[in-house]
């Protein structure tokens, strides 16, 4: 996620669509704000993952909240009308499992496995807590992605980078999804969390961007509980291996504390 400094003050005006996708005749049409950083002809992985989560939750039903969404991107995601198919593998009282496939122009481009678990009132013993959420206060450095054409990074999200000494090997930022997902209404917080989770490597980047290119080929999001509010913090970190692979992971937090984690597999190459 390439950024440039932006003065403090009111949020910059947005020029993108009111939603990332709209439905027409059984297909999902991406708006310009669903485009990724590679160009207007490719979609952002976070936008596509959130659309798949939307269909998965609809198939799981209200009694089984989305608990895990594991998405594989099968290649570049073209900015074309998308067909989405769901298949329920299990619909039990305790948990459900749904398979989601997305195709463009007859070619499958992404697939997800979604797990939904029932909610239960169950008192549990206290466990060591995660670090408190980072502050989100006036005066923190605020960044606005640059660029000309509408895109997800430029128009669909607002990111405030946090100086967090507790995480010296990565980065921390608060982020907010500023468009709807499939309509003009704000996306549910859990769907926003899925979309924003794909920013993990950009927030926790550890390799010099002028030498290395890192592309995530998947995204897995685990939700311990539904997040609350518009803003989501990502405390991100990147780990690299000796064979051109890496892992970017983030703890997901809202104002009440940690609610989930996400992981990306990175394909690393030299520029």
Say what the pLDDT of residue 168 is. 65
d(CA 70, CA 171): 23
Comparing C-alpha atoms, which of 267, 221, 202, 261 is closest to residue 240?
Answer: 267
Please report which confidence band the pLDDT of residue 3 belongs to, taking 50, 70 and 90 as the band edges. very low
In contact, 240 and 246? CB cutoff 8 Å: yes
Mean pLDDT check: name the lowest of 96-110, 156-170, 191-205: 156-170
- What pLDDT, on a 0 to 100 scale, did the predictor assign at position 13? 38
Question: Could you tell me if 245 and 212 are in contact, meaning their C-beta atoms sit under 8 angstroms apart?
Answer: no
Report the pLDDT value the prediction gives residue 49, as an integer from 0 to 100: 98
- Please name the CATH architecture into which domain 19-118+147-270 falls: Beta Barrel (2.40)
Q: Hey, CA dihedral for 243, 239, 127, 114, is it positive or negative?
A: negative
The Cα 102–Cα 201 span in angstroms is 23
User: Can you give the pLDDT at residue 164?
Assistant: 67
User: Other CB atoms closer than 10 Å to residue 207's CB: what's the count?
Assistant: 15
Mean local confidence (pLDDT), 85-99: 96
What does the alpha-carbon distance between residue 69 and residue 218 come to, in Å, rounded to a whole number? 11
Q: CA–CA separation, 138 vs 22, rounded Å?
A: 35
pLDDT at 103: 98
Return mean pLDDT, the chain. Answer: 87
Tell me which residue of 124, 111, 33 sits closest to 79, measured CA to CA: 33
Rg of the chain, C-alpha, whole Å: 18
The answer to whether the CB of 145 falls within 8 A of the CB of 173 is: no
* 166: confidence class by pLDDT, cuts 50, 70, 90: low
Domain ranges within the chain, ordered by starting residue:
19-118+147-270
User: Looking at residue 33, what DSSP letter applies?
Assistant: G
Instruction: Quick: pLDDT tens for 238-262.
Output: 999 888 999 999 999 999 999 999 9
pLDDT at 149: 86
Q: What confidence tier does 124 reach under pLDDT thresholds 50, 70, 90?
A: confident
Cα–Cα distance, 207 to 78 (Å, whole number): 27
Q: Is 162 left (phi over 0), alpha (psi -120 to 50) or beta?
A: beta
Taking 90 as the threshold, does the pLDDT of residue 73 lie above it?
yes
pLDDT tens column, 183-220: 888 999 999 999 999 999 999 888 888 898 999 999 99
């Amino acid at each position: 996620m390439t950024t440039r400094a932006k003065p403090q003050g009111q949020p910059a005006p947005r020029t993108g669509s009111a939603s990332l996708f709209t439905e027409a005749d059984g297909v999902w049409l991406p708006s310009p704000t669903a485009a990724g950083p590679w160009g207007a002809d490719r979609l952002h992985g976070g936008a596509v993952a959130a659309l798949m989560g939307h269909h998965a939750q609809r198939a799981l039903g209200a009694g089984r909240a989305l608990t895990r969404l594991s998405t594989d991107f099968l290649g570049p995601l073209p900015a074309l009308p998308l067909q989405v198919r769901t298949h329920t593998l299990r619909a039990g009282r305790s948990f459900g499992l749904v398979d989601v496939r997305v195709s463009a122009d007859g070619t499958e481009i992404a697939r997800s496995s979604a797990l939904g678990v029932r909610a239960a009132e169950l008192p549990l013993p206290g466990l060591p807590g995660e670090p408190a959420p980072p502050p989100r206060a006036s005066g923190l450095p605020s960044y606005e992605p640059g660029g000309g054409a509408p895109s997800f990074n430029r128009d669909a999200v607002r990111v405030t980078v946090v100086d967090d000494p507790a995480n010296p090997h990565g980065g921390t930022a608060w982020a907010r999804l500023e468009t709807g997902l499939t309509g003009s209404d704000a996306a549910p917080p859990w769907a926003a969390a899925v979309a924003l989770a794909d920013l993990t490597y950009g927030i926790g980047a550890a390799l010099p961007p002028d030498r290395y290119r890192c592309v995530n080929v998947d995204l897995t999001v685990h939700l311990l509980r539904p997040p609350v509010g518009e803003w989501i913090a990502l405390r991100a970190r990147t780990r690299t291996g000796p064979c051109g692979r890496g892992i970017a992971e983030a703890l997901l937090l809202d104002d009440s504390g940690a609610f989930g984690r996400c992981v990306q597999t990175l394909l690393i190459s030299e520029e």
